[in-house]
Amino acid sequence: MSRKLSALAAAAALVTAFVVVTQAQADDLVTHHEFQANCSVTHHLPDDPIVLPGLPGASHLHTFLGNPTTNARTTTDSLRAGQTNCKTPDDKSAYWFPSVYNGDQLIPPDFPQVIYYKSGILKYQDVVPFPPGIRFVVGSPSATQEQFRTAPGAVEGWECGDSFHNYDIPAWCPPGTQLNIRYQAPSCWNGRDLDSADHKSHMAYPDRATLVCPSSHPVAVPMLEFKMAFPVSGDMSRVRLSSGRGYTWHYDFMNAWDAPTQAALVRHCVNGGLQCDPRGYDLYKPHRGAALGPDYRLPR
């Protein structure tokens, strides 16, 4: 082989090695640790099976996602016996929030909504699945604007167009945009109680500075982040929640996942440092595969 050909071969080998190393570095770079639950609205009821169990009609109107059986008398067992319209069919959990009105007109989301399951702690490898039957409330229908703004989790607030971090519903949204809300849940569990008297105390937020769970709530579970979108824009002066002003935003969760399915998604996506869709597939790292099969179910 001539010196020229040898030099060309050496240069090609260096380029190949550089590409391999660069790709490996990109694969090792962790920017997300999450998977999605994509669920659509099923119904609206003035019920709240966590705060007002067994009392139909006793609550302000709520909009329910996922499991169509959810009502005032819902239990974990009734959810498991029900169905779901979530993309992952073995997520029969109940998700709900105060309904949104424009004046007297109900404005339900008319497309699938995104509920993220993320890591709320720095050591995302330590997150474990939600225990069966856990339930909790995030936010408060009696919150003041200051309480909403300074909530211990990362509160993105209300968004539309180029307007972000609003702590009440904006008075105007550019026509053709949509109203969004993002609000994060606590992700540290006391490891003992599936509920508490205020439906919150068994959960806690990580320390903001260290992103470590407090010793009173040492178990890191997925951090839920509701990202809801409502098809309303223009004059927003009459847009409100059934619970009141925008800062009364809150939401509820009752876990009814198939335990092995949730565990596979947590392990592959959250612990694995991936940005997954509801199948547990990261579009940007396709070689890592998916947690679930093409039918969005755990291979049996």
List, for residues 178-231, the tens digit of each pLDDT value. 999 999 999 999 999 999 999 999 999 999 999 999 999 999 999 999 999 999
**pLDDT band at 238; cut points 50, 70, 90:** very high
From start to end of 170-211, where are the E strands? Answer: 172-173, 179-184, 188-189, 203-204
Long-range contacts of 263-267 (CB under 8 A, 24+ apart): 263/129, 264/291, 264/292, 264/298, 265/35, 265/88, 265/117, 265/291, 265/292, 266/35, 266/117, 266/127, 266/128, 266/129, 266/222, 267/291
pLDDT in tens, 54-75: 999 999 999 999 999 999 999 9
pLDDT in tens, 7-41: 444 444 444 433 333 444 456 788 999 999 999 99
- 34: three-class secondary structure by DSSP: strand
Stretch (H or E) spanning 263:
helix 259-265
What predicted TM-score, i.e. pTM, was given to this entire model?
Answer: 0.89
With tokens 């993309």, the residue in question is 87
With tokens 């997520």, the residue in question is 91
pLDDT of residue 172: 96
Give 68's contacts (C-beta < 8 A, 6+ positions apart).
42, 43, 82, 83, 84, 85
Give 40's contacts (C-beta < 8 A, 6+ positions apart).
65, 85, 109, 111, 112, 113
> Is it the case that residue 117 has pLDDT exceeding 70?
yes
Rounded to whole angstroms, the Cα distance separating 42 from 56 reads 17
Q: What percent of the chain has pLDDT over 70?
A: 90
Question: Would you say the C-alpha torsion 129, 133, 134, 136 has a positive or negative sign?
Answer: positive
> Is it the case that residue 50 has pLDDT exceeding 70?
yes
CB atoms within 10 A of CB 54: 11
> Is it the case that residue 115 has pLDDT exceeding 50?
yes
Rounded mean pLDDT, 82-96: 98
Segments making up each domain of the chain, as ranges: 36-257
Contact (Cβ atoms closer than 8 angstroms) between residue 264 and residue 299: no
pLDDT of residue 127: 98
Among the listed residues 269, 259, 244, the one whose alpha carbon sits nearest the alpha carbon of residue 147: 244
Rounded to whole angstroms, the Cα distance separating 90 from 290 reads 16
pLDDT of residue 20: 37
pLDDT of residue 21: 36
**pLDDT band at 153; cut points 50, 70, 90:** confident
CB atoms within 10 A of CB 211: 16
Q: Which two tokens stand for residue 289?
A: 């595969």
Beta bridge partners of 238: none
Question: Mean pLDDT in the chain?
Answer: 92
pLDDT in tens, 242-294: 999 999 999 999 999 999 999 999 999 999 999 999 999 999 999 999 999 99
Q: Which two tokens stand for residue 41?
A: 């609205």
With tokens 């009141």, the residue in question is 244
Q: What is the DSSP letter of 292?
A: S
Beta bridge partners of 160: 163
